Amino acid sequence: MKVFDIKEQHKIITIAILLVISLLLVYYFHFILKIDVIFTHLFYMPIVLAGLWWSRKGIAVAVFLGTVLLISHVISPIATSIWADAMRASMFVLVGMIVAALNQKILQLLDELRSYSELLEYRVEERTNEIRNLIDSIGDPTIVVDISNFEILLANKAARGFNDDRYPVEKPLHCYQLNHQRDSQCEMPDEPCPLEKVISTKAPQRVIHIHHDREGNESFVDIVVTPIFDKNGEVIQIIESSRDITKAKLTEKTLRETSDYLNKLIDYTNAPFIVWNPNLMITRVNHAFEQLTGYTSNELIDKKLNMLFPDSSMQEIFNEINRTLNGEHWELVEIPILRKDGTIRLILWNSANLYDEDDKTVSAIIAQGIDITERKEAEESLKKYTEELTKINEELKSLDKMKDEFLSNVSHELKTPLVSIEGFSEVIRNETLGVLNEGQKKAIDTVLRNANRLERLINSVLYLSISQSGKMKYIFKPVQIADVIDYSVLDMLPQAKNHGLVIKKEVTDNLPLIQADVDKLMQVMINLIGNAIKFTLSGEIKVSAYEDKNDLHIVVSDTGIGMSQELIGNLFKRFYQGDASTKRKYGGTGLGLYISKLIVEAHNGKIWAESEKGVGTTIHVTLPKYQS
């Protein structure tokens, strides 16, 4: 870079023109007018220009002009002293040298200035790049805005990412275009512009503002706005940094709604609810807990837990509480609560622990309870009642035992005279003691029939008594079921004939043996056939037996009165009778089928009934085959 830096050809032409003009002036004044040159100061113009343009080469122009001035003085006819022109010529050369030296110094200074300027520009550019990179590295959108027209002067990468084709990069972009997708300045009274706040207050501002995306959707933004001042303290620019907190706002809203829901759920649940911290201070209770204790929440919050417990149970209760502080939790722990009025309620508690961030340190304990005072009192009453019932039951067992012993003794005592009655009646009936007329024979038959009936009754009572005492003995041996059926039918034929009934047998030949007590099994068959005869007015009794897989299946059916399905379920109960009134048509004690069931089950068999009212009844008995 040189002073008055113009093209070289222009410099030569300019100097040449100035030299020509100088020569013409010298010629005109020295040779035409023949006077002294008094305008030589005009010659300094080409000397200075030549010195500035060509440095030391410009001295040649000064020497040339000085020489021309001296020569023109010598050859011109003027009579003046040559020393004046010599002085002027010397001044020409001196000025040329001074200008050349100054030009060298100026050029040196300009070179230094240029180097410094280039260095300064480099450092400014480097610092600008550092600042730009630093700003670009900020994850939050950051812009610098000119307050005069809200034009964005600088934007980091995060802010530039919001731009789109509506506002190309080469065009000036305004903050309202970037943040609100608007083409004009914002006018939102409900959402005042944070930049306007900074301008009016001249102080940094932090606000929650609403921005708009390209689709026009609103988003919540946390904005920090900082003013930049000029030397007079006036705001000229603003730095705006923003962070999208829409998700945080939505999360905050969700958490607030969830918290409100949980608070209402806790406050209005029917179960008492309490929270305490590791210092055993109450931090939260619900309405149900207030109702339980009689205290208000204000009377409980920040109070010690021990105010809720009776002194008699204090140590035991705090042992349980220390368990929760050690990380355990309660499951159905009974703890009494001392109410404000001095009464005590028994509560069944469950608890859970809340932990600090380390998942080890207990920060709070939550407990939920159920008032079981009435239930506990009911349990105690029930326990007392059960104990009384047990005592009464033992007394009843004792009485029942006495009854069994009495029945056993009475049965034996009744059988002794009954044997004599039956024996002498048989003697009389056989006319051993004399001939009987028909009336006497009928009377003796009645005595024998009722004696047999009384004997069966006594045997039933005796069997029942022995069975309940646990002293019943069975003599099991291999038995042919056909023989048992034959003997039983034979014994019951007279009774059937008296009722005008027929007993039919349908027994499969060569049936396998069973393991049985013959006398007990015959008692079953006689009971079943006897019942069939008793409840059959006309028709027949059928007794059948056949092989059924691993069992022998015995069936006794009749064509009698039958019974409804409702009565069948009670048929094998002790003392049960379908008609229990005092005016019932059919006699009996209700023990026959019950005893039959006991005997069948003692043989590892099963017994059940099928019946239809007005059609008849069928009794089924299955007994396991004999395994040799």
Give me the DSSP letters along 317-386: HHHHHHHHHTT---SSEEEEEE-TTS-EEEEEEEEEEEE-TTSSSEEEEEEEEEE-HHHHHHHHHHHHHH
Please tell me the distance from the alpha carbon of residue 444 to that of residue 429, in angstroms, as a whole number. Answer: 6
On whether the CB atoms of residues 25 and 39 are closer than 8 A, the answer is yes
Please tell me the distance from the alpha carbon of residue 594 to that of residue 600, in angstroms, as a whole number. Answer: 10
State yes or no: pLDDT of 171 exceeds 60. no
Residues 6+ apart with CB under 8 A from 400: 468
Q: How confident is the model over 123-141, as a mean pLDDT?
A: 77
Q: How confident is the model over 73-91, as a mean pLDDT?
A: 67
- Could you read off the pLDDT of 286-295 as tens digits, one per residue? 998 999 999 9
Query: φ and ψ at 620, to 5 degrees?
Result: -110, 135
| Mean per-residue pLDDT over the chain, rounded | 80
What is the model's pTM?
0.38
CATH number for 139-250: choose from 3.30.390.50, 2.160.10.10, 3.30.450.20, 1.25.40.10: 3.30.450.20
Query: φ and ψ at 609, to 5 degrees?
Result: -130, 150
Please tell me the distance from the alpha carbon of residue 455 to that of residue 525, in angstroms, as a whole number. Answer: 17
* Helix, strand, coil percentages in the chain from 3-state DSSP, rounded to 5: 50, 20, 30
Res. 249 pLDDT band, cuts 50 70 90 = confident
* CATH tag, 473-624: 3.30.565.10
Q: Which amino acid is at 620?
A: H
On whether the CB atoms of residues 448 and 429 are closer than 8 A, the answer is yes
Highest mean pLDDT among 239-248, 366-375, 389-398: 366-375
* Residues composing the chain: 628
Cα–Cα nearest to 186, from 195, 176, 196: 176
On whether the CB atoms of residues 516 and 476 are closer than 8 A, the answer is yes
Residue 127 bridge partners (DSSP):
none
The domain ranges of the chain are: 8-114, 139-250, 269-371, 473-624
CA dihedral 191, 195, 200, 206 (to 10 degrees): 80
Q: Do 139-250 and 269-371 fold alike per CATH?
A: yes
Please tell me the distance from the alpha carbon of residue 507 to that of residue 483, in angstroms, as a whole number. Answer: 10
The gap from C-alpha 250 to its chain's centroid, in whole angstroms, comes to 20
Res. 37 pLDDT band, cuts 50 70 90 = low
Please tell me the distance from the alpha carbon of residue 317 to that of residue 329, in angstroms, as a whole number. Answer: 14
State yes or no: pLDDT of 267 exceeds 60. yes
pLDDT of 413 reads 63
CATH number for 269-371: choose from 3.40.50.720, 3.40.50.10330, 3.30.450.20, 1.10.287.610: 3.30.450.20
Highest mean pLDDT among 245-249, 274-278, 624-628: 274-278
Percentage of the chain with pLDDT > 90?
21
Residue 101 bridge partners (DSSP):
none
State yes or no: pLDDT of 324 exceeds 90. no
Locate all alpha helices (DSSP H) within 76-182, ordered by sequence.
Answer: 82-137, 157-160, 175-180
Q: What is the b/e burial string over 599-623, where b = at least 16 CB atoms within 10 angstroms of the residue's CB? A: bbeebebebebebeeeebbbbebbb
- Could you read off the pLDDT of 465-524 as tens digits, one per residue? 666 666 678 899 999 999 999 999 998 898 899 889 999 999 988 899 999 999 889 989
Q: How confident is the model over 582-594, as a mean pLDDT?
A: 58
Res. 581 pLDDT band, cuts 50 70 90 = very low
240-244 LR contacts (CB < 8 Å, sep 24+): 240/142, 240/143, 240/144, 240/145, 240/175, 240/194, 240/195, 241/138, 241/140, 241/141, 241/142, 242/140, 242/141, 242/142, 242/179, 242/209, 242/211, 243/140, 244/211, 244/219, 244/220
Cα–Cα nearest to 565, from 607, 612, 532, 615: 612
Q: Which region among 413-427, 463-477, 508-522, 569-583 has the lowest average model confidence (pLDDT)? A: 569-583
Q: Which region among 355-359, 403-407, 548-552 has the lowest average model confidence (pLDDT)? A: 403-407
Helices 58-75 & 8-27, crossing angle to 10 degrees?
20
Residues 6+ apart with CB under 8 A from 489: 503, 505, 529, 543
Query: φ and ψ at 21, to 5 degrees?
Result: -60, -40
β-strand pairing of 616-624 with 551-558:
antiparallel
Q: What is the CA radius of gyration of the chain?
A: 67
